[in-house]
Amino acid sequence: MPELPEVETVRRGLQPHLEGARLTSVRLNRPDLRFPFPERMEERLTGARVVSLARRAKFLVADTDRDERLVMHLGMSGRFTIIDPAAADLPDAPGQFVHAQPTLPQHDHVEFETEHGVRIVFNDPRRFGYMQMFTAGEDPFYEIGPEPLSNAFSGESLYEALKGRRSPIKTALLDQHVVAGLGNIYVCEALFRSGVSPRRLALNLGKARCDRLANEVRNVLEDAIRAGGSTLKDYAHADGGLGYFQHSFGVYGREGEACTQCQMPVQRTVQSGRSTFFCSNCQR
Ligand SMILES: [Zn+2]
């Protein structure tokens, strides 16, 4: 499932084609994905200019010059393909997605076309993705915690958010109220990098360890964005495979293999129904 770095990678690919461009056509090939499409979605978007394409947590957010906001979620298997006639001879042109596995046309559910003749196709075989529309005044994200790559997230804010929480730190970091956009992979990696045991109770993390953990959350996300951003060739397999950051995992998916720090075997446990990978020697 795409996490923050993958969604950010998708955003960076789409941005040059969408931001500032007027949508000349919007086509829905079915009535719904995970949820029904917004009412009159085609009419509300056709002719509108996309003022900005941002990301909040794992959502892509396109604001239009009609004071409306299109929010898109990739779900499990959603992906965008950019078809740019001007770049047809340049398969490695920046922003052009080249998939290892071709998408099947029967899963092309939404098709946008811009004034520059660029087609942006949303393909989603499993249909857990969704699109919603809001007016500019509405904030659909008010319940979501701070963006980990923004100034709103720090050791201090993390310390405050963890106060009184009796759950393990691993579980607390997956809670979107504490910090936005983190999933299982990046939580495991950030805890490993900061030397914090996933089983430690959230309320027992002092300020110094919160500082370190907040820094490592940021570092691991930035490293992953860099890895996903620099090669899109194998991006978004149907199973959600990523750029190439999976080759840099310290612990995730490495049960029984040597810890990259101390050579002891990486361990796996299950917390809140999800696998946690960690080194009991390096993480205390
Ligand atoms: Zn270790």
Do 120 and 174 belong together in one domain?
Answer: no
Report how far residue 72's alpha carbon sits from residue 238's, in angstroms, rounded to the nearest whole number: 18
Compute how many other C-beta atoms are within 10 angstroms of the C-beta atom of residue 103.
Answer: 19
Report how far residue 263's alpha carbon sits from residue 69's, in angstroms, rounded to the nearest whole number: 49
Do 30 and 126 belong together in one domain?
Answer: yes
> What pLDDT band is residue 93 in, cutting at 50, 70 and 90?
very low
Q: Does residue 148 sit within a domain?
A: no
Q: Which pLDDT belongs to residue 237?
A: 36
Q: Does residue 143 sit within a domain?
A: no
Centroid of ligand 1 to alpha carbon of 73 (angstroms): 36
Residue numbers of the domain that contains 62: 4-135
Centroid of ligand 1 to alpha carbon of 59 (angstroms): 34
More confident residue, 122 or 99: 122
Q: Is the pLDDT of residue 256 over 70?
A: yes
Do 168 and 267 belong together in one domain?
Answer: yes
Q: Which pLDDT belongs to residue 101?
A: 52
Judge whether 274 counts as a catalytic residue: yes
Centroid of ligand 1 to alpha carbon of 214 (angstroms): 20
Given 65, 100, 135, the domain boundary residue is: 135
Q: Write down the catalytic residue from 11, 55, 58, 79.
A: 58
Centroid of ligand 1 to alpha carbon of 190 (angstroms): 14
More confident residue, 160 or 87: 160
Do 228 and 172 belong together in one domain?
Answer: yes
We report the CATH number of the domain holding residue 193 as 1.10.8.50
Report how far residue 149's alpha carbon sits from residue 119's, in angstroms, rounded to the nearest whole number: 30
> What pLDDT band is residue 61 in, cutting at 50, 70 and 90?
very high
Centroid of ligand 1 to alpha carbon of 55 (angstroms): 34
Judge whether 58 counts as a catalytic residue: yes
Q: Write down the catalytic residue from 3, 6, 113, 216.
A: 3
Place of tokens 């596995």: 101
Given 67, 102, 135, the domain boundary residue is: 135
Q: Write down the catalytic residue from 2, 38, 148, 168.
A: 2
Q: Does residue 140 sit within a domain?
A: no
Coil, strand or helix at 164: coil
Centroid of ligand 1 to alpha carbon of 192 (angstroms): 8
Centroid of ligand 1 to alpha carbon of 250 (angstroms): 9
Q: Does residue 94 sit within a domain?
A: yes
Task: Judge contact between 199 and 166, C-beta under 8 A.
Answer: no
Scanning the chain, the segments in alpha helix (DSSP H) are 4-18, 41-45, 155-162, 169-174, 184-194, 207-230
Q: Which span out of 89-93, 123-127, 244-248 was modeled with the highest average pLDDT? A: 123-127
Centroid of ligand 1 to alpha carbon of 52 (angstroms): 43
Q: Does residue 142 sit within a domain?
A: no
More confident residue, 119 or 81: 119
Pick left, alpha or beta for residue 240 (phi over 0 → left; psi -120 to 50 → alpha; otherwise beta). left
The pLDDT tens digits of the residues spanning 133-163 come to 999 889 899 999 999 999 999 999 999 999 9
Do 214 and 250 belong together in one domain?
Answer: yes
Q: What would the DSSP string read from start to end of 135-146?
A: ETT--TTTTS--
Do 131 and 162 belong together in one domain?
Answer: no
Centroid of ligand 1 to alpha carbon of 201 (angstroms): 20
Q: Is the pLDDT of residue 106 over 60?
A: yes
Do 129 and 167 belong together in one domain?
Answer: no
Do 19 and 71 belong together in one domain?
Answer: yes
Report how far residue 149's alpha carbon sits from residue 235's, in angstroms, rounded to the nearest whole number: 22
Q: Does residue 126 sit within a domain?
A: yes
The pLDDT tens digits of the residues spanning 188-241 come to 999 999 999 999 999 999 999 999 999 999 999 999 888 874 343 334 433 334
Q: Does residue 14 sit within a domain?
A: yes
Do 181 and 85 belong together in one domain?
Answer: no
Centroid of ligand 1 to alpha carbon of 206 (angstroms): 22
Given 135, 165, 200, the domain boundary residue is: 135
Judge whether 2 counts as a catalytic residue: yes
Q: Which pLDDT belongs to residue 196?
A: 98
Do 234 and 271 belong together in one domain?
Answer: yes
Do 178 and 217 belong together in one domain?
Answer: yes
Do 119 and 67 belong together in one domain?
Answer: yes
Q: How many domains does the chain have?
A: 2
Q: Which pLDDT belongs to residue 28?
A: 97
Stretch 22-51: mean pLDDT: 97
Q: Is the pLDDT of residue 269 over 50?
A: yes
Q: Does residue 118 sit within a domain?
A: yes
